[in-house]
Amino acid sequence: MRHLTRFAAAALAVLALAVQSPAQAGEDRGHIIVQSTTSTEASGLFDHILPRFESMTGIDVRVVAVGTGQAIENARNGDGDVLLVHHTPGELKFVADGYGVRRFGLMYNQFVIVGPKADPAGVNGMSNAAKALSKIAESGAAFASRGDDSGTHRAELALWDATDIDVESAGSWYRETGAGMGETLNTAVQMGAYTLTDSGTWLNFENKGDYTIHVKGDTRQQNQYGVMVVNPDKHDHVKVQKAQAFVDWLVSAPGQRAIASYTIDGQQAFTPNAR
């Protein structure tokens, strides 16, 4: 019942913004800045869901898509109204340190390991991502890492921690791109390397060439996203009402349906799971 009550309250709050008087609209409508991970943009999700929210409320949502680590740092510096990323420990710390009002779980997809169909490391069909990474390292096959402190990079490092491979002293087979997911995928394809990517970005990636998913299904590869309003107690310029309206919509039933309805080639890109 509590869940239903919160969703109802969120829907009413968004509706109130949509039907406010012209004077109120002049004061309250405008734009908000969302600091977000690259995967939400590269997957095409924002192009699908933002027009629905914007047409209903008149609030223009402007996304800054960078690695999760950079997005968190930007939000800490007050360069945004909403934070939407995919590294739960970092998000919880952001709130615990007083920079976020409240974190909501939003949706998830999966991390997968992709590589050339020739599969030089012989990892195709494996579901244990850490063991697959060990095989890649032992084979000397190339691996492209984002190396940018993004949520994907942090997830990759956590998987390496479950192996006996020290990537900090790895040989030339391990390459850090220092770039976003789309650029890293392009680099991997060009150099014939394996890489870790979120499934949404992979589905929307157009330069697949002879690449395919080799490793998936590891429970450690679930890629959870969270969303929160930046705390105005830290940065008084945060547009709290508009930011909260956006977060409330995302976790409400209509917002969750909008996320669920986004498909690429018939495949759902994200699974909503707001609680």
Its pTM stands at: 0.83
Instruction: Answer yes or no: do 159 and 185 share one domain.
Output: yes
Cα dihedral angle (180, 106, 24, 51), rounded to 10 degrees? 60
Domain that holds residue 87: 2-108+224-272
- What pLDDT was estimated at residue 121? 98
pLDDT digits (tens, 9 = 90+) for 236-251: 999 999 999 999 999 9
Instruction: Answer yes or no: do 29 and 129 share one domain.
Output: no
pLDDT digits (tens, 9 = 90+) for 5-46: 444 444 444 444 444 433 344 334 579 999 999 999 999 999
Q: Which contacts of 159-168 are long-range, i.e. CB under 8 A and separated by 24 or more positions?
A: 159/129, 159/130, 159/133, 159/196, 159/220, 160/130, 160/133, 162/130, 162/220, 163/130, 163/131, 163/133, 163/134, 163/137, 164/134, 165/133, 165/134, 165/137
Instruction: Answer yes or no: do 103 and 129 share one domain.
Output: no
In the chain, the number of structural domains is 2
pLDDT digits (tens, 9 = 90+) for 38-83: 999 999 999 999 999 999 999 999 999 999 999 999 999 999 999 9
Instruction: Answer yes or no: do 126 and 210 share one domain.
Output: yes
Instruction: Answer yes or no: do 37 and 164 share one domain.
Output: no
**Where is the domain boundary, 183, 201, 221?**
221
Domain CATH number, residue 142: 3.40.190.10
Instruction: Answer yes or no: do 212 and 234 share one domain.
Output: no
Residues 193 and 141: beta-carbon distance below 8 Å: yes
**Where is the domain boundary, 203, 221, 239?**
221
Instruction: Answer yes or no: do 202 and 242 share one domain.
Output: no
Mean pLDDT, the chain, whole residue set: 90
pLDDT digits (tens, 9 = 90+) for 82-122: 999 999 999 999 999 999 999 999 999 999 999 999 999 99
Instruction: Answer yes or no: do 97 and 183 share one domain.
Output: no
| Integer Cα distance of 185 and 183 in angstroms | 5
Instruction: Answer yes or no: do 133 and 83 share one domain.
Output: no
